[in-house]
Structure 1
Amino acid sequence: MPTAEIQYREALRLNPQLFEALQFLGVLKAQTGECPEAIKLFNQAIAINPKNEHVYLNRGLVQYQLGEFQSALADFQTSAKIAPQYAEAYFNTANTFQELRDFSKAVVNYDKAISLAPQYAEALNNRGNALQELGQYPEALKSYQQALAIQANYADAYFNYGTLFQNIKDFQGAIKYFDKAIELEPNYLEAYINNGDNYDELNSASQSLRYYEAALKIDPNCLEARYAMTLSRIPKIYSNKQELQESRKTFETMLASLESFVKAHIKDSHHIVGSHQPFFLAYQNTNNKRLLSRYGSICIELMKGMQSTISAPAPRIATQKIKNRHCERVSASTFSMGRNY
C-alpha cells in the first residue's frame, strides 16, 4: 500500500469525517484506476462538504473516464456553479459536451474557460476540434494557431491542424502537419495512419505503405493500420495489364493475411468497417467476386465483435467520425488537489 494511502487511512481512522483525507484518497484511487472506490470516497466527501468545487470536478473526471457523460456533465456544471471563476470546470464541461456531440455548447464553455485563463492551450486546441466538427474551419484554424502560439511543441494541436486540412481535401497540407506531430512525438500512431491515408489519396502507393508500416512497427496489433494498408493496395490508376494483375495478386495476398489476423483480433473492432473500402475494384474490368467475398467475410468477422456486446437494439450516440476519428483527441484535465478553505 502506498505511503500516502496509509497516511490518509490513518487520518480517517482518527477522524472519519475528515473531508480532505476522503478527497485526496479518492484522487489517489482514481489515479490508480480504482474508479468505483474513488467515486465512493468522493460521495462521502460531498456528504460532508457539498460546497467544494474540487471534489465535484474530481468525481466528474472519474465518471468521464467511465463513459458516464451525463453524470460527469452534472458534476462539472455543479463545480462551475460553486466557483464561477474555475476555468477547469468549464473546460471539462466543454469536453463532455464534445463527447455528447453538442459542439455549439462545447464552444461556449471553451470560450468561458479561455476568458478566465487566456493561456489555456488545451482549451484552445479542443475548441478548434469543436469548431471543426461544426464546419467552421477558419475559426478552428485560428484556435489551433493560438494554442501553438502558447505551446509551440504541442503535438496534438499539429495533429488536429492536420485533420482540418484532411477534411478540406488538402492532403499535401495535412501531411506537413502530421509530420510535425510525428517529429514531436515519434510514436504518434494515429499521425502515421492518417499520413498513410493522405498518400493513398494522392495515389502514392510507396509512401502510403511506408507510413502504414511505420504504424505497425509501433503497434504490430494495430488493426486499423493493417486494414488501411490492405485496402490501399488497390490502385486508382494503373499503366498496363501486368501492373494491374500484380496489384491484384498483392491485394489478394494481403487480404488473406488480414482475414487471418481479424479472426484473432475482433474485439471492439467493428468501427474499422467502412473506414476504407475496395471502391476502385469496380474500375478494373475483371471478375471481383472472389476478392469481394473475402473482403465481405472480414467485415462480417469485425461486426461480430459488436454483436457480442449488444443484447438488444438501442439508440447509440456516435462519439467520433469514421475516417478522422482521431481529430477529437482531447486533453483531459488532471485531478484537482485544491484544498477546502
Structure 2
Amino acid sequence: MKFSKWVYVALISIILASCSAGESNKGDQLYSAGKYEEAIDAYDTYLVNRPKNVQALYNRGRSHEELGDFEKAERDFLAALSHDSKNVQVLLSLSNLYQRQKKHSQALLYAEYAVEVPGAPAMAYFMKGRALHQLGNTEEANKEYSSAIKMDKNFGQAYYYRGLLKFATDRVQSGCEDMRAAIKLNFEDAREAMDRYCQ
C-alpha cells in the first residue's frame, strides 16, 4: 500500500471524519462511495451557509486530493486550519499532502505543529520522522520514529521506516529487528526489505 494511502487509513482510524447533518452527511456518504466529484458538490452546497465548518472544509479537501487536485485540497485544508489551528487531523493531512508533492520542509513544518498539540497521536511523530528522513536528518528522524513506536507498539509502518533508516546508516542487525517487528504486525512491505538486507 502506498505511503499516503496508508496514512489516511490510519488517520480515519484515529478520528473518523464526519460532519453534522444534511448535505454534509450526503457528502460523507458520497466520499465513502468513491464519488468524489459528487461529494464536492454536496460539500459546496453545505458550506454556502456554513463557510466556517472545519470538518466540511476538511472533507472537501480530501475529496479534491483523491481527484489529484492538490492545489484545491491545500486551499481547503488551510481554510479549515484558519478556523481551528490545533486540529491534528488537518495538520497531519497537510503534512501528508506536502510529502506527496516532495515539499519536505513544508511537510515537516505541519508535522511539528501537530506534535505540539496536547495529546498528539503517534502518527504526528511518525509524519515528523518521515519529513526529517526525506530531508536527510537521519538521527532526528530515528528519534521521531522511536517516539511513534513508544506511543503505539503496533505501529508497523513506523518499524518499517525506522528499519530502512537503519539500513541506510549501516545498522543492519537493528534494521532487521525492526523489519521482523513490522512483519509480525502485518506490514507486508517489510518482507522485501528482509529478503534484501537480512540474509
Place the TM-score, normalised by the shorter chain, in its bin: 0.7 to 0.9
Query: Percent same amino acid among aligned pairs?
Result: 24
Q: Per-residue displacement from partner, 1:41-67 (whole Å, max 9, x unpaired)?
A: 111111221111111111111222222
Between 51-60 and 163-172, report the one with greater CA deviation. Answer: 163-172
Distance in 2, matches of 1:71 and 1:197, equals: 40
1:255-266 map, 5 Å: none
What RMSD, in angstroms, separates the aligned Cα atoms of the two structures? 1.6
Q: Per-residue displacement from partner, 1:147-193 (whole Å, max 9, x unpaired)?
A: 111111111111111111122243333221111000111xx331111
- The secondary structure found in structure 2 opposite 1:20 is coil
- The secondary structure found in structure 1 opposite 2:153 is coil
Task: Give yes or no for contact 2:88–2:120 (8 Å, CA) kept in 1.
Answer: no
Name the counterpart of 2:98. Answer: 97
Distance in 2, matches of 1:97 and 1:118, equals: 23
Name the counterpart of 2:193. Answer: 194
Query: Please, which runs of 5 or more residues in structure 2 have no aligned partner?
Result: 1-19
1:137 is displaced (CA, Å) by 0.7
Name the counterpart of 2:116. Answer: 115
Q: Which has the larger radius of gyration?
A: 1
Name the counterpart of 1:61. Answer: 62
- Specify the code of the residue in structure 2 equivalent to 1:189: E
Q: Per-residue displacement from partner, 1:250-270 (whole Å, max 9, x unpaired)?
A: xxxxxxxxxxxxxxxxxxxxx
Distance in 2, matches of 1:50 and 1:150, equals: 36
- Specify the code of the residue in structure 2 equivalent to 1:184: L
Task: Give yes or no for contact 1:172–1:198 (8 Å, CA) kept in 2.
Answer: no
Q: Per-residue displacement from partner, 1:92-149 (whole Å, max 9, x unpaired)?
A: 1111111111111111111111211443111111111110000111111111111111
Task: Give yes or no for contact 1:119–1:150 (8 Å, CA) kept in 2.
Answer: no
- Specify the code of the residue in structure 2 equivalent to 1:196: D
Name the counterpart of 1:184. Answer: 185
Q: Per-residue displacement from partner, 1:222-275 (whole Å, max 9, x unpaired)?
A: xxxxxxxxxxxxxxxxxxxxxxxxxxxxxxxxxxxxxxxxxxxxxxxxxxxxxx
- Specify the code of the residue in structure 1 equivalent to 2:194: N
- Specify the code of the residue in structure 2 equivalent to 1:193: E
Larger helix percent: 2
- The secondary structure found in structure 1 opposite 2:139 is helix
Name the counterpart of 1:243. Answer: none
How many residue pairs align between the two structures? 180
1:62-211 map, 5 Å: 62-185=63-186, 188-199=187-198, 204=199
Q: TM-score, normalised by structure 2?
A: 0.84
- Specify the code of the residue in structure 1 equivalent to 2:114: A
Query: Please, which runs of 5 or more residues in structure 1 have no aligned partner?
Result: 1-18, 205-341
- Specify the code of the residue in structure 2 equivalent to 1:60: G
Q: TM-score, normalised by structure 1?
A: 0.50
- Specify the code of the residue in structure 2 equivalent to 1:51: K
Name the counterpart of 2:27. Answer: 26
Distance in 2, matches of 1:67 and 1:47, equals: 24
1:25 is displaced (CA, Å) by 1.3
- Specify the code of the residue in structure 1 equivalent to 2:46: A
Moved >4 Å (runs of 4+): none
Distance in 1, matches of 2:163 and 2:67, equals: 29
- Specify the code of the residue in structure 2 equivalent to 1:73: E
Larger RCO of the pair (alpha carbons < 8 Å, separation 6+): 1
Task: Give yes or no for contact 1:182–1:191 (8 Å, CA) kept in 2.
Answer: yes
Between 112-121 and 38-47, report the one with greater CA deviation. Answer: 112-121
Name the counterpart of 2:17. Answer: none
- Specify the code of the residue in structure 2 equivalent to 1:128: G
1:317-328 map, 5 Å: none
